Structure 1
Amino acid sequence: MLAARGGLIETVHYLCQVDASWILCRDIHGRDAIMEASRGGHDTVVQILLTYVPGGAREAVRREDQEGNTALHFASSGGHLLVLRTLLAAGADATHENVWCWTPVAYSASVQAEVYLKGLINEVEKRRQQQAQSQTRKNKLSPPGDPKRGQGGAGTIGLRIVREEDDNKLRPPRLAP
């Protein structure tokens, strides 16, 4: 936890390789290593922690401390723009309210950080909508019983192996001269 708080990249990386279970341990305020690294603005440390965290990054960035703050609240309050981007990419919830009903946007350290965070939130939301639309289109193009439904369907690239005898069957008959 102290290595994450202090931004000690090599130490954090070593500890994660040895045993990553410490990442989810909490201090007396209910904060874990990801929250502490976010609070300090240590983007590289946050990325390392999210890579090794047991249970996956998406779950880890949604954890709360005793006051309901997430790592995104801490990054926003410090104006740590790179950490904001990393956490949102990992699946952090930008609409999560703490016990005082404050979202990470409300904690923005500066107008610049607030504008940047709002832009990132819009970008992430737009990307989610595009993925949902793409998935819907794929499902419409695949027949209902297709086991590959939603995994590609029409528009995907495939490979067909043709043997010589198959190739002869597919060719149109030759016309006599």
Structure 2
Amino acid sequence: MLAAAAGHTEIVHLLCVWGPAVSGLLRRDMRGRDAIMYASRGGHDTCLQILLTFASQLKDPKDVLAHADADGNTALHFASSNGHLLVLRTLLAAGADSERRNVWMWTPVAYSATVQAEVYFKGLVSEIDRRRTASVKSSVNSGAGRASLEKRGGGVRIVESGDD
């Protein structure tokens, strides 16, 4: 946790390579915060990416990003409140929930450090939502296209040549 909070990328990587027993990757402190929260709070994007990569080998990344401290704050709350835009992008791309509320019922976007950060955050969320709906529509359309092709009897027929 200390290496992640200070942004020591090489040490974070070394500890993660040694394994979860040594790194304490998902271990929490007395406030309920883990290394991912500390890296997000400090704006250390490279450390965060390393932690998320190794954490995905242990648990589902969305479960790891759903961890909250004693106040209900997630890594996304910390990144937003400190104005770390690159960390916001990384967390949202990894599947962090932008609508998760803390014990005071505040979402991460409400903690935005500046108005510009809030606009950027909302833009990222709308872009991710737009991509999700586009991927759902394309998968539905590709499935419907195959079904209609099968109904019409479309496909490839192999004809062997005769000895005429």
TM-score scaled to structure 1, two decimals?
0.80
How big is the shift at 1:98? 0.5
Amino acid across the alignment from 2:6? G
Which of 89, 99, 120 is the matching residue for 1:95?
99
Amino acid across the alignment from 1:132? V
Amino acid across the alignment from 2:106? W
C-alpha RMSD of the superposition: 2.1
Amino acid across the alignment from 1:10? E
Within 2, Cα distance between the matches of 1:125 and 1:115?
A: 15
Does the 8 A contact of 1:64 with 1:70 survive in 2?
yes
- Can you give the 5+ residue segments of structure 2 that lack an aligned partner in the other structure? 151-155
How big is the shift at 1:59? 1.7
Query: Which structure has the larger Rg over C-alpha atoms?
Result: 1
Does the 8 A contact of 1:50 with 1:56 survive in 2?
no
Within 2, Cα distance between the matches of 1:104 and 1:39?
A: 12
Secondary structure of the 2:92 match is helix
Does the 8 A contact of 1:61 with 1:70 survive in 2?
yes
Secondary structure of the 1:142 match is helix
Query: 5 Å matches for 1:53-92?
Result: 53=55, 54-92=58-96
Query: 5 Å matches for 1:1-177?
Result: 1-20=1-20, 22-53=24-55, 54-143=58-147, 166=160, 168=161
Q: What per-residue deviation string (whole Å, max 9, x for no partner) do you get for residues 19-43 of structure 1? A: 1351110001101100010000000
Q: What per-residue deviation string (whole Å, max 9, x for no partner) do you get for residues 109-156 of structure 1? A: 111111110000000000010011111112212349x9xxxxxxxxxx
Query: Greater RCO between the two (CA within 8 Å, min separation 6)?
Result: 2
Q: Whose helix proportion is higher, 1 or 2? A: 2
Does the 8 A contact of 1:8 with 1:45 survive in 2?
yes
How big is the shift at 1:63? 1.2
Secondary structure of the 2:25 match is helix
Within 1, Cα distance between the matches of 2:132 and 2:20?
A: 30
Query: Percent identity among equivalent residues?
Result: 54
Within 1, Cα distance between the matches of 2:18 and 2:11?
A: 11
Within 2, Cα distance between the matches of 1:142 and 1:29?
A: 53
Within 2, Cα distance between the matches of 1:105 and 1:141?
A: 39
Does the 8 A contact of 1:38 with 1:46 survive in 2?
yes
